[in-house]
Amino acid sequence: MRVDAVSELESTEEREVCFNTGGGLAAVWLNGEKIFDNDDIGGGIGRQAGAQRIPATLREGTNRIVIEAGDSFFLSVTESREW
């Protein structure tokens, strides 16, 4: 099973964040730019939540996030690379 999902994230200012991936997440786009591709890191690597941390910049206003995933996935956005 493959899931495609779209979401929007509002930001009051431009800021640096980390997208934290896991599970069956295959790819992530932020504002039309691919920022994560599981094929680039060997496919099945990193199934636990937060396995990969992808630095990115949110722009002020609306940010569009698009994902491709298997039947289960994890994706969070944090302001720090630290847990």
Residue 51 inside a domain? The answer is yes
Residue 71 lies in domain: 3-78
Please, are residues 54 and 18 in contact by the beta-carbon 8 Å criterion?
A: yes
Q: Which residue has the tokens 């680039």?
A: 40
Cα–Cα distance for residue pair 61/40, rounded to 1 Å: 30
Question: The dihedral of CA 11, 23, 51, 4: what is its sign?
Answer: negative
Residue 53 inside a domain? The answer is yes
Can you give the pLDDT at residue 47?
Answer: 62
Cα–Cα distance for residue pair 6/81, rounded to 1 Å: 24
pLDDT in tens for each of the 83 residues of the chain? Answer: 677 999 999 999 999 999 999 888 899 999 999 999 987 555 455 566 667 889 999 999 999 999 999 888 889 999 876 66
Residue 83 inside a domain? The answer is no
The total number of structural domains that make up the chain: 1
Can you give the pLDDT at residue 3?
Answer: 74
